[in-house]
Amino acid sequence: MKASEESAKIVESIRDAVVATEGRGLDDVTRQRVHQRLVEHLDEPPRNNVWPVRTAAAALLVAGLVGVVLWIGGRRAAPTPALTLKHVSNQGHGLEVGTRTDELRVPDGVSVKAKVGEQGEVEAIGPARVAVDSATPGAVTLRLERGLLRARVNPTGRRFEVRAADVRVVVVGTHFLVDLRGGEPAVAVAEGVVTVLNKGSVGPRSITLHEGQAWRTGQEAAGPVPPRLAAALGVKPKPDPQEEARRHPPVLSQPPDFRSSRPAGAPAPPELLYRRAEAALRSGDRTLARARLEQVVRRFPDDKLAASALYELAQLAVRDGNPKLAQSFLRRLQRVRKDPSLHEPAHFLSCRIAVESGAMKGALECLQRFRRSYPSSPHDEEALYALIRLRLSRPGSCSVAAPLCDEYLRRYPKGDFARQVRRHRAECSR
């Protein structure tokens, strides 16, 4: 094969793969989440000018000085270490409170608490060694090389990961520990949900652990937290639920009360429940995700997260092939006045469900209403194309479809469906 052909083939292959990485693009919940975070940061008014010259000159001078100092010191500039030592049980081992580091070497008999940015807090119980694999505002990955690590991750924090031997523990808002003292990792959860990805050759590849559950390499399924780990985790060991049920059969069948495991007067915040639902979704546990989302809606109907939960529930119902249930969630979402920002995607999802379920009249009305209510919606192009398709599905309806085609081509000449719309338009002109 000629070199140019070879090169073209490589380029084509890379292009296909890069386009494939886009997947389904930006989902509505992410769009909304970023939007909410943006709203929180938009307090400062936009700057009207680029940097003033003096500021730029001062910045250059400072950068130059820093460069000279680093050059003299023979050091390379490094990113700020991710761990800030907060408490050391027995100082004097080179571990001082306030130190920032990317590696913790904790000697025997010493325990060190460190803050991990805004993500949360970890505690290494010596002898232990913990290193930061990577740390960004969005994700933190720690590596436990030996010993025991206890972690408390903020529910508002983003991705948090601990790696130990062949095991990866992925968490979103929780209190857990990873124990590598016996050589093989064990994971125990006091609060929240973690997903353990097992790259070893023994045991399941992925396992989801909930409150009061633990798992050790080699085990096929999660079990209750053993007393040794419960002590390290700072919780009371819970009896095996089956054993407990045998000893004390329930008198009344009551729905499980999430708050019962929390101190009185401290209900689980909606964010925590929502994060748990997200974690369950990520791990593929739809039943648990649905239960958590329903809890958010039931317990916090006035919270803005109730709208997000209803939207997720509708999407789950669509995936389960239950369009009626999905529509009922979306109708409820439209009644949540606290956060109307999800009304637009919910309305569009409702129209898509109507189109897919073949309810032509309902779908037509839904799409027309949607376009009237949200003329500058990012979904308008798709809604317009769906309308054209619906109109054309009836024979002899070109007179209605043609103006819609014209509108599409005027508004979205380079749109995703422009080619098809041009073809439809040409067919109508014949």
In 202-291, beta strands by DSSP E: 206-209, 213-216, 223-224
Is residue 20 at the binding interface for another protein, with CB under 8 A as the rule? yes
Q: Is 45 in the site for another protein (CB under 8 A)?
A: yes
Q: Which is nearer to another protein, 30 or 261 (CB)?
A: 30
Beta strands 139-153 and 159-164: pairing type? parallel
**Which residues pair with residue 224 across a beta bridge?**
213
> Which of helix, strand or coil describes residue 367?
helix
Q: b/e string for 171-182 if b means 16 or more Cβ within 10 A? A: bbbbbbbbbbee
Determine, following the binding rule CB under 8 A, whether residue 50 of this chain makes contact with another protein.
Answer: yes
Spell 307-323 as b/e; 16+ CB within 10 A means b: bbbbbbbbbbbbeeeeb
- Note whether 226 binds another protein by CB under 8 A: no
From 133-141, 287-295, 300-308, 396-404, span contacting another protein (CB under 8 A): 133-141
Going by C-beta distance under 8 Å and a sequence separation of 6 or more, which residues neighbour residue 143? 130, 131, 132, 133, 162, 163, 164
Query: Is 34 a binder of another protein (CB under 8 A)?
Result: yes
For residues 26 and 231, which CB has a smaller minimum distance to another protein in the complex? 26
Tell me the pairing of strands 206-209 and 100-101.
unpaired
Write out the H or E segment, with its range, that includes residue 411. helix 398-411
Stretch that binds another protein, among 31-39, 143-151, 208-216, 328-336 (CB under 8 A): 31-39
- Amino acid (1-letter code) at residue 183: G
> Rule CB under 8 A: is residue 253 a binding residue for another protein?
no
Q: Helix, strand or coil for residue 141?
A: strand
d(CA 370, CA 57): 52
- Nearest 5 degrees, angle CA 272-CA 275-CA 280? 125
Q: Tokens representing 70?
A: 């680093």
* 134-153 positions binding another protein, by CB under 8 A: 134, 136-139
Among 2, 5, 23, 72, binds another protein (CB under 8 A): 23
CA distances from 169 to 117, 162, 223, 289, 396 (A): 19, 5, 16, 19, 60
Report if residue 44 touches another protein, rule: CB under 8 A: yes
Residues 6+ positions from 56 with CB-CB distance below 8 Å: none
Residue 367 CB, shortest distance to another protein, in Å, is: 18
Choice from 64, 79, 94, 182 touching another protein (CB under 8 A): 79
Stretch that binds another protein, among 33-41, 226-234, 243-251, 315-323 (CB under 8 A): 33-41
Q: Where are the beta strands (DSSP E) in 71-185?
A: 83-88, 100-101, 103-106, 111-116, 120-135, 139-153, 159-164, 167-171, 174-179
375 is a site residue for another protein (CB under 8 A): no
- Taking CB under 8 A as the rule, which mask of x and - marks residues 334-353 in contact with another protein? --------------------
Q: Provide the minimum distance between the beta carbon of 102 and another protein in the complex, in angstroms, as a whole number.
A: 11
Site for another protein in 180-199 (CB under 8 A): 197, 199
Tell whether residue 80 is a contact of another protein (CB under 8 A). Answer: no
The DSSP letter of residue 95 is -
Shortest reach from residue 409's CB to another protein, in Å: 19
Tell me the per-residue interface mask from 87 to 126 with another protein, x by CB under 8 A, - otherwise: ----------------------------------------
Q: Which of 5, 22, 108, 257 binds another protein (CB under 8 A)?
A: 22
Residue 139 C-beta: closest distance to another protein, Å: 5
Q: For another protein, which is the closer residue by CB, 21 or 287? A: 21
Q: Indicate whether 49 belongs to the interface with another protein (CB under 8 A).
A: yes
Taking each continuous run of H as one helix and of E as one strand, the counts in the chain are 14, 14
Q: Which is nearer to another protein, 26 or 57 (CB)?
A: 26
Nearest to 276 by CA among 255, 292, 299: 292
Backbone angles phi, psi at 116, to 5 degrees: -110, 85
Span near another protein by CB under 8 A; candidates 120-128, 131-139, 265-273, 350-358: 131-139
Q: Which is nearer to another protein, 25 or 395 (CB)?
A: 25
Closest CB to another protein among residues 11, 60: 11
The site for another protein, by CB under 8 A, has a size of 51
Instruction: Return the DSSP state at 261.
Output: G
Name the residues that contact another protein, by CB under 8 A: 3, 6-7, 10-11, 13-15, 17-23, 25-26, 30-31, 33-35, 37-39, 41-42, 44-50, 79, 133-134, 136-139, 158-159, 168, 170, 197, 199, 282, 376-378
